[in-house]
A = this chain, B = another copy of it.
């Protein structure tokens, strides 16, 4: 039967390394390196360490897959779970704009775990990751904006992304891949409700998307069947999770459009919904030589999802929550000129930043909202203490495909991430940089 899940499964089961443009492979390496840095940085944080402790209790003490950064081994299921929990922790991993989906954190951890388990080559690993991006992004677009209002797309579409990534490495047939889609989709979960009190669920979401997707593909390899039409079926993901599922997006231009190339790097260490306004504020400050203490008021004009995700936070109570506070993020940037992990560590309790936060408002802007999620537009109006009215518009925030990071910039970012909380050393960063740039010709065993 030619359901949309069949079309997705056919692509996922059959994509070959040789079919993928070199540009896509290079960007995939960029994204992988970016993610390894995020895993290092996230690994030291309490929510990740609690998931790691659970994995240590329930999983085997040895195995075929590596935990990052320790290099300790366990089974692929738990390696995928723990590394994926870490990957999204510090809000520095990538984002695909139009699907509002963070593919890296749910694609690379299960890919690496299973690649190590089966001794896959670097080429096989990269091919599988491209499959994960291409499918996961389309599922995010299929579920659409109404989904994202309640569901964490990275968790739901992420389960599918993880399943096809692992399925490709395991060499699933098209039929088995369709089973994997069914078993992944029926496990897909993740609600935004935790944001209100800044609970730890985000790490649980990525951990479980990676692990559940891996399980779905592994079961499919054993002949465990899944729903045939998990996307468009009457009781499938579209009807369950979306008010306006877009089936056309799900199967759009496989092999022609490379959605992986549309993915953005995160430049600021905060929720991606703050980035456009942050860049617009910075533009105002740079172009008009405004200092942080000269800002009297910042009106940000944003898309609805920014209000949905960021609106829950009034006065942030934790470092993590501060990355979801528009006013705090803008204050961190304004006072430091850079909103990186270390800058956020010192923001909470900084009275200047707290005061700055209270000068910032968010207003729904119809034009910005209409452009979203294809474009994440930054629009601000700033009033200075001396009464100047300044504004700026940014259509390609730093890190977006139209304004992407160079390999030098990525390496610099990775070094900061690896070194965050002393998770790793400069030497560790150099090793994983070298490993990644050589991956096409190397193996999936990490130099940990």
Binding site for B on A (CB under 8 A): 46-47, 50-51, 53-54, 57-61, 75-78, 149-151, 179, 182-183, 185-197, 199-201, 204-205, 208, 212, 215, 218-219, 222-230, 233-237, 239-240
Report the minimum CB–CB distance from A240 to chain B (whole Å): 5
Asked whether A219 and B51 contact (CB < 8 A) given A75-B58, A195-B235, the answer is yes
* CA distance in complex: A185, B199 (Å): 13
Decide if B229 touches A201 in the complex (CB within 8 Å): no
Decide if A228 touches B199 in the complex (CB within 8 Å): yes
Report the minimum CB–CB distance from A216 to chain B (whole Å): 8
Decide if B189 touches A186 in the complex (CB within 8 Å): yes
Closest to A63 in B: B58
* CA distance in complex: A354, B59 (Å): 47
Decide if A227 touches B57 in the complex (CB within 8 Å): no
Beyond A54-B215, A197-B228, A200-B226, 18 additional contacts (C-beta under 8 Å) are A50-B219, A50-B224, A54-B219, A58-B76, A59-B59, A182-B194, A186-B189, A186-B190, A186-B191, A186-B204, A187-B189, A191-B240, A193-B233, A196-B228, A197-B227, A200-B219, A201-B227, A204-B219
Decide if B204 touches A187 in the complex (CB within 8 Å): yes
Decide if B150 touches A191 in the complex (CB within 8 Å): no
By secondary structure, the A interface counts as helix
Asked whether A204 and B188 contact (CB < 8 A) given A50-B219, A193-B236, A199-B179, the answer is no
Decide if A196 touches B54 in the complex (CB within 8 Å): no
Asked whether A225 and B196 contact (CB < 8 A) given A51-B219, A59-B58, the answer is no
Decide if B191 touches A189 in the complex (CB within 8 Å): no
Name the contact of A78 in the complex, choosing from B54, B58, B208 (C-beta under 8 A).
B58
Report the minimum CB–CB distance from A332 to chain B (whole Å): 24
Name the contact of A226 in the complex, choosing from B46, B58, B194 (C-beta under 8 A).
B194
Q: In the assembled complex, which residues on chain B have CB atoms less than 8 Å from the CB atom of A235? A: 149-150, 191-193, 195-196
* CA distance in complex: A204, B222 (Å): 13
Closest to A308 in B: B235
* CA distance in complex: A195, B234 (Å): 11
* CA distance in complex: A236, B240 (Å): 14
Decide if B151 touches A53 in the complex (CB within 8 Å): no
Which 4 pairs, one residue from A and one from B, show the smallest C-beta to C-beta distance? A58-B77, A189-B189, A193-B227, A192-B235
Decide if A205 touches B186 in the complex (CB within 8 Å): yes
* CA distance in complex: A60, B78 (Å): 11
Closest to A203 in B: B224
Q: List 8 A-B contacts (CB under 8 A).
A: A53-B222, A182-B194, A183-B200, A187-B190, A191-B240, A197-B228, A199-B226, A199-B228
Decide if B188 touches A189 in the complex (CB within 8 Å): yes
Asked whether A193 and B186 contact (CB < 8 A) given A59-B75, A199-B225, A222-B53, the answer is yes
Asked whether A183 and B196 contact (CB < 8 A) given A58-B77, A189-B189, A219-B54, the answer is no
Closest to A179 in B: B199
Q: In the assembled complex, which residues on chain B have CB atoms less than 8 Å from the CB atom of A218? A: 54, 57-58
* CA distance in complex: A240, B147 (Å): 9
